Amino acid sequence: MFFGPLPLSDAEGATLAHSLRLGSIAFKKGRRLSTDDVEALREAGIAEVIAAKLSDSDIGEDAAASRIAAAVAGGAVQVAAAFTGRVNLFAESHGLLRLAPSRIDAINEIDESVTIATLPDFAPVEPGQMLATVKIIPFAAPAGAVEQAERIAMDGPSPLAVLPYRPLSVALIQTRLPGVKESVLDKTVAVTRERVEAIGGTLIHDSRCAHDEAELAAQIAGAPTADLLLIAGASAITDRRDVLPAAIGRAGGVVEHFGMPVDPGNLLLLARRDGKPVLGLPGCARSPKLNGFDWVLQRIAAGIPPSRAEVMRMGVGGLLAEIPTRPLPRAGVATEAPRAPRVTALVLAAGRSSRMGQTNKLLAEVNGAPLVARAVDAALASQAATVIVVTGHQGERVARALADRPVTFVHNPAFAEGLSSSLRAGLAAVPGDSDAVVVCLGDMPRVASAVIDRLIAAYSPLEGRAICIPTTHGKQGNPVLWDRAFFTEMAGLSGDAGAKRLIGQHADRLCEVPVDDAGILYDVDTPDLLARFAETVSAPDPASAGSSPG
pLDDT digits (tens, 9 = 90+) for 307-328: 999 999 999 999 996 544 444 4
Query: Given pLDDT bands bounded at 50, 70 and 90, which one contains residue 455?
Result: very high
∠126-77-72 over CA atoms, to 5°?
Answer: 135
- Closest alpha carbon to 454 in 139, 54, 18, 66: 66
Q: Which CATH superfamily is domain 343-544 in?
A: Spore Coat Polysaccharide Biosynthesis Protein SpsA; Chain A (3.90.550.10)
The CA distance from 16 to 474, in Å, is 14
Q: What angle do CA 379, 383, 384 make, to 5 degrees?
A: 60
The domain ranges of the chain are 2-53, 60-164, 169-312, 343-544
Which residues, including other chains, have CB under 8 Å from residue 146's CB and lie 6 or more apart?
59, 64, 67, 68, 114
CA 460, distance to chain mean position in Å, is: 13
Q: Is the pLDDT of residue 196 over 70?
A: yes
Q: How far is CA 185 from the centre of its chain?
A: 39
| pLDDT number for residue 389 | 98
Given a contact cutoff of 8 angstroms between Cβ atoms, the answer to whether 284 and 192 are in contact is no
Query: In this structure, which amino acid lies at residue 220?
Result: I
> If we measure between CA atoms, which residue out of 306, 189, 171, 292 comes closest to residue 229?
171
Helix (H, G, I), strand (E, B) or coil at 380: helix
Dist. CA 322–CA 319, nearest whole Å: 8
Band of pLDDT at residue 435, cut at 50, 70 and 90: very high
Assign a CATH topology to domain 169-312: Molybdenum Cofactor Biosythetic Enzyme; Chain A (3.40.980)
Could you tell me which residues come within 8 angstroms of residue 337 by beta carbon, excluding any fewer than 6 positions away?
Answer: 125, 129, 130
- CA 371 from centre of chain: 30
Q: How confident is the model at residue 253 (pLDDT cuts 50, 70, 90)?
A: very high
How many residues in total does the chain contain? Answer: 550
Question: Which pLDDT band, with edges at 50, 70 and 90, does 539 fall under?
Answer: very low
Query: Tens of pLDDT along 46-90?
Result: 999 998 898 999 999 999 999 999 999 999 999 999 999 999 999
> Which DSSP helix (H) or strand (E) runs through 221?
helix 213-222
Residue 96: its H or E element? strand 95-99
Tell me which of 1.10.357.10, 3.40.50.1010, 3.90.1170.30, 3.40.50.10490 is the CATH number of domain 60-164.
Answer: 3.90.1170.30
- Considering the domain 2-53 in this protein, what is its CATH number? 3.90.105.10
Residue 179 neighbours by CB under 8 Å, 6+ apart: none
The band of 334, judged by pLDDT with boundaries at 50, 70 and 90, is very low
Give the Cα separation of 323 and 331 in Å (integer).
17
Share of the chain above pLDDT 90, in %: 75
Contact yes or no for 59/143 (Cβ under 8 A): yes
- Quick one: pLDDT at residue 64? 98
**Among 207, 539, 550, 248, which residue's Cα sits nearest to residue 369?**
539
- Does 250 score more than 50 pLDDT? yes
String of DSSP letters for 430-459: S-TT--EEEEEETT-TT--HHHHHHHHHH-
Q: What is the dihedral of CA 499, 343, 393, 470, to 10 degrees?
A: 50
| pLDDT score recorded for residue 357 | 59
What is the arithmetic mean of pLDDT over 137-144?
96
Secondary structure (3-state) at 515: coil
d(CA 167, CA 203): 11
Residue range 34-47: mean pLDDT, rounded:
88
Measured CA to CA, the distance from residue 452 to residue 442 in angstroms comes to: 14
